[in-house]
């Protein structure tokens, strides 16, 4: 380990000058607050802490944070999102559209802030909406330590401050996706495009994780500490884990932190409590901490399994969707950061005058390593690796090791003298003669850590695009009297960089020579297969539509909706839509792209041409893209769970196995007194995300729950597993895989049929009186049939009679049989129930065979309905429905008297 610098001076990386950190602040009325205090004495409920007033006197021998911007506010882009309460800096570069908020600072501005990053420019990785916590509620925030512990703990932030020693450490956090844009240019990964500024450093104040865990007393056999936040996401709460011995080791420096640079944690950074894991990827530092669970195995949280992994490079995005065991392999999970570096100056597109510049130019940048290792070497080359030059390295982190004994900073003990681990970035610089830059075509930089792990020359591409750390290359363009410098990429969708330029010119970025064509190398014509697209627009329509015009059509009169930026009028299809008019009303005034494209067939997509009315203008698209509409977090609890235009989240609380491939999934609604709001005969939509592609999986189901039941929702689902030669069901297998406690999105109701009771129903809004229901179903198609049948049979005043024919393969496949039998026993005078099996056992005494013409001819017969008094309800697999429809048409049944659920 390199010896510590004993001087109180330090080379500040942004200027190269020797300075003290910082000049003494001016005297203020609060200067008397600087005396040493224990963590339990300071007032965390102050909305911010004056970060120019650290609890040290005079000139500091270590870096202190730059001043934050006082004029930041809620940005206009966030007004229409769930993050409308969060103050942000407009300089941050948004990487994933408007919402969720994933950003990095411009690289030059990040570097120029120096060793510590203000909250304004600190990178942010959010998976969804930011939980809203008012200042007045901070002290009451609770979290628990549970699982394999002898002493489970539940405590508030006030207790954490009062009962445990506070410490303050400088820690660099790095997103595992830092520099991912480079991988995305080579070949698109499943991640969005981080530039080289996906890292930041701050002073974090909190409690050492090991102190908390020792108080909880982990049991023998416990090996992991799992962390879970309060952020509600499409696949449950965000959670992950680290090894328990790491969490308990003081050398690892893991904190439960409540302050950042002396201030209460900003909302984007975990207000009011988070985990900070030094030396590991930022994805392990869970924000908005609610639970620490001690376990024998690594976390089974969706985000631990399907995020922050480096799969083998031969696994393509297409292959990865079919490799659940590969995703769950802990060998591919990322913990410690790898060694990495980047050049910050010269900046991208910076120009250096050859006539006015000094004799040399100072090339500067950052480097970091993982797991507490120190970066020991940074080297630059001007001849693509034939020869190398050694750069100077400065370690601002070391200055904190020189702090006086018992020094306190922001209410926490600053004692790093005993620890040699390095958890912060360092800065390198090298003076290069301008004449050498003029003669070179590029500058390449690499770093090495104390274990002699050096950055690789070439990229290791992987499906998630994480841990990208090949040599950082800046191209030099000699343009007459000026040198122009070009970085590899620019973040997000910002154009620029030599990698994009080379790829557009036909260069092969994977050829080991940065895409440059070698002498004698033949030009290869690479043609990409054109994407197969279905035309969904009327090319003769050139109308531009604004958001105000769209919102005039957000009701049931002329409902307009948007798919892929195009506007459609659903009025003409209200009666013909298979899901009923409610499906279109629910999309009115909304961007329905995700739902429409996930649910509808190619034929349905082609039909959109007939309903196309124009194109939404760019400004309006940005407004619609501002994130999903969610109920305000401080609104009154809703009595009805389902909403027609907004996805609502329910928690999976139980799974009950009914047969080998069927389960009842129980979901907890938002509160115990909430009803589902689903009318009898209608269904709801459920949404999950594909664990790999992140595409929405949306399917419609009819719950088993009584419509009057409150607080719970029960859905019976047949799971279609993968079999040799046949893919299973995306949604059913995804549901089967999610753990208890996972969120699922719901929307509705939808459907064109509704049973109002006592023989009265509506079909596409038209009322009809029915004297007999003929219900024909197979497999899990019993669920909508069951719902209507239960309504008829549990109402003693309902005169409607029912015939139910339920076809299955074997007796074990008959779903809800006990419930059906019990209902019919008590109502034999108005219901006849028939089961038929295609593969019966020898003990089966009921009907045998499929639901065929002979059976329907005998039990249903020719259509004799008068004034629509008989109505056939059909639900089952598509081949069964088609077969029954064809047979009934042969028996003179009209389509008006046959309804497919």
CA–CA distance, 888 with 856 (Å, rounded to integer): 8
- Each residue of 473-485: b (16+ CB within 10 Å) or e? bbbbeeeeeebeb
Residue with tokens 């598509």: 878
CA dihedral 842, 847, 852, 856 (to 10 degrees): 180
Asked about 175 being catalytic, the answer comes back as yes
**Contact between residue 626 and residue 659 where contact means Cβ atoms under 8 Å apart:** no
Other CB atoms within 10 A of residue 390 CB = 11
473: Cβ–Cβ under 8 A, 6 or more apart, which residues? Answer: 442, 443, 444, 488, 498, 514
From 175, 424, 426, 875, the catalytic residue: 175
Q: Is 24 exposed, middle or buried (0-12, 13-18, 19+ CB in 10 A)?
A: exposed
- Each residue of 94-124: b (16+ CB within 10 Å) or e? bbbbbbbbbbbbbbebbbbbbbbbbbbbbbb
517 DSSP assignment: P
**Contact between residue 282 and residue 173 where contact means Cβ atoms under 8 Å apart:** yes
Judged by DSSP in three states, 180 sits in helix
DSSP bridge pairs for 898: 872
From 301, 308, 421, 468, the catalytic residue: 308
Across 9-148, where does the E strand assignment appear? 10-11, 18-19, 93-94, 102-104, 124-125, 142-147
Asked about 478 being catalytic, the answer comes back as no
Residue with tokens 């669920």: 783
Q: Which helix (H) or strand (E) holds 818?
A: helix 817-825
CA–CA distance, 663 with 896 (Å, rounded to integer): 34
CA–CA distance, 487 with 493 (Å, rounded to integer): 15
CA–CA distance, 216 with 150 (Å, rounded to integer): 6
CA–CA distance, 834 with 20 (Å, rounded to integer): 88
Residue with tokens 């090894």: 243
Other CB atoms within 10 A of residue 448 CB = 19
Residue with tokens 């928690």: 651
Other CB atoms within 10 A of residue 299 CB = 21
CA–CA distance, 81 with 624 (Å, rounded to integer): 10
From 89, 307, 398, 591, the catalytic residue: 307
Q: Which residues are catalytic?
A: 175, 307-308
């Amino acid at each position: 380990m390199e010896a510590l610098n004993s001087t109180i001076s330090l080379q500040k990386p942004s200027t190269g000058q020797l300075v003290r950190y910082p000049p003494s602040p001016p005297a203020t009325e609060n200067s008397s607050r600087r005396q040493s205090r224990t963590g339990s004495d300071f007032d965390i409920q102050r909305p911010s802490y004056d970060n120019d007033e650290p609890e040290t006197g005079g000139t500091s021998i270590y870096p202190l944070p730059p001043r934050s911007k006082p004029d930041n506010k809620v940005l206009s882009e966030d007004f229409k999102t769930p993050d409308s309460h969060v103050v942000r800096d407009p300089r941050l570069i948004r990487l994933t559209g408007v919402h969720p908020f994933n950003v990095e600072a411009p690289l030059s501005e990040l570097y120029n802030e120096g060793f510590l990053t203000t909250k304004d420019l600190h990178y942010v990785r959010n998976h969804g909406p930011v939980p809203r916590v008012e200042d007045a509620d901070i002290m009451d925030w609770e979290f628990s330590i549970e699982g394999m512990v002898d002493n489970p703990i539940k405590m508030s932030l006030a207790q954490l401050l009062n009962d445990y020693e506070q410490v303050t450490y400088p820690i660099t956090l790095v997103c595992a996706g830092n520099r991912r844009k480079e991988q995305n240019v080579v070949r698109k990964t499943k991640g969005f495009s981080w530039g080289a500024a996906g890292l930041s450093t701050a002073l974090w104040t909190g409690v050492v994780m090991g102190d908390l865990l020792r108080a909880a007393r982990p049991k023998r056999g416990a090996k992991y500490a799992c962390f879970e936040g309060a952020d509600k996401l499409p696949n449950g709460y965000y959670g992950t884990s680290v090894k328990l011995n790491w969490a308990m080791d003081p050398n690892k420096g893991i904190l439960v932190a409540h302050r950042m640079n002396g201030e209460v944690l900003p909302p984007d950074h975990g207000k009011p409590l988070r985990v900070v894991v030094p030396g590991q990827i930022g994805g392990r530092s869970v924000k908005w901490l609610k639970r620490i669970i001690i376990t024998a195995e690594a976390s089974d949280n969706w985000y631990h399994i399907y995020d922050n992994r480096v799969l083998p490079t031969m696994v393509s995005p297409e292959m990865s969707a079919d490799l659940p065991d590969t995703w769950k392999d802990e060998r591919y999970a990322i913990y410690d950061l790898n060694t990495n570096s980047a050049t910050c100056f010269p900046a991208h597109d910076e120009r250096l005058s050859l006539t006015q510049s000094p004799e040399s130019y100072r090339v500067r940048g950052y480097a970091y390593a993982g797991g507490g290792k120190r970066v020991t070497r940074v080297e630059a080359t001007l001849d693509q690796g034939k020869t190398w030059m050694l750069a100077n390295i400065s370690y601002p982190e070391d200055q904190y090791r020189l702090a006086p004994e018992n020094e306190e900073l922001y209410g926490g003990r600053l004692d790093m003298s005993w620890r040699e681990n390095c958890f912060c970035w360092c800065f390198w610089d090298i003076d290069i003669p301008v004449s050498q830059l003029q003669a070179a075509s590029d500058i390449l930089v690499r770093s090495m850590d104390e274990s002699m792990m050096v950055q690789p020359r070439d990229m290791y591409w992987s499906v998630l695009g994480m841990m990208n750390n090949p040599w950082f290359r800046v191209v030099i363009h000699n343009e007459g009297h000026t040198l122009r410098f070009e970085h590899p990429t620019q973040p997000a969708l910002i154009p620029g960089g030599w990698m994009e330029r080379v790829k557009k010119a036909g260069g092969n970025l994977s050829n080991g020579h940065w895409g440059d064509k070698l002498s004698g190398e033949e030009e290869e014509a690479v043609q990409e297969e054109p994407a197969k697209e279905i035309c969904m627009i009327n090319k003769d329509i050139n109308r531009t539509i604004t958001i105000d015009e769209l919102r005039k059509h957000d009701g049931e009169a002329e409902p307009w909706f948007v798919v892929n930026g195009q506007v459609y009028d659903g009025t003409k299809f209200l009666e013909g839509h298979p899901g009923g008019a409610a499906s279109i009303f629910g999309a009115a005034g909304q961007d329905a792209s995700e739902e429409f494209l996930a649910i509808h067939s190619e034929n349905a997509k082609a039909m959109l041409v007939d309903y196309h009315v124009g194109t939404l203008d760019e400004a309006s698209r940005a407004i619609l893209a501002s994130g999903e509409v969610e109920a305000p977090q401080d609104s009154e609890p809703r009595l009805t769970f389902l909403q027609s235009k907004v996805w609502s989240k329910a928690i999976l609380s139980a799974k009950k196995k009914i047969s080998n491939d069927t389960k009842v999934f129980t979901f907890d609604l938002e509160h115990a007194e909430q009803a589902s709001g689903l009318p009898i005969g209608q269904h709801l939509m459920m949404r999950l995300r594909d664990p790999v592609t992140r595409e929405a999986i949306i399917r419609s189901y009819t719950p088993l729950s009584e419509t009057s039941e409150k607080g719970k929702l029960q859905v019976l689902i047949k799971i279609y597993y993968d079999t040799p030669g046949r893919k299973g069901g995306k949604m059913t297998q995804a549901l089967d895989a999610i753990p208890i406690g996972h969120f699922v999105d719901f929307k509705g109701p939808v459907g064109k049929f509704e049973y109002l009771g006592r023989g009265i129903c509506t079909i596409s809004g038209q009322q009809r009186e029915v004297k007999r229901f003929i219900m024909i179903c197979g497999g899990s198609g019993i669920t909508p049939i069951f719902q209507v049948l239960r309504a008829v049979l549990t109402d003693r005043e309902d005169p409607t009679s029912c015939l139910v024919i339920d076809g299955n393969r074997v007796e074990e496949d008959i779903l809800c049989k006990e419930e059906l039998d019990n209902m019919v026993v008590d109502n034999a005078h108005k219901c006849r129930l028939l089961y038929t099996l295609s593969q019966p056992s020898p003990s089966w005494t009921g009907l045998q065979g499929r639901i065929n013409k002979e059976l329907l001819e005998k039990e249903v017969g020719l259509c004799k309905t008068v004034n629509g008094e008989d109505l056939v309800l059909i639900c089952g697999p598509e081949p069964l429905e088609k077969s029954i429809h064809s047979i009934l048409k042969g028996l003179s049944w009209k389509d008006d008297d046959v309804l497919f659920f």
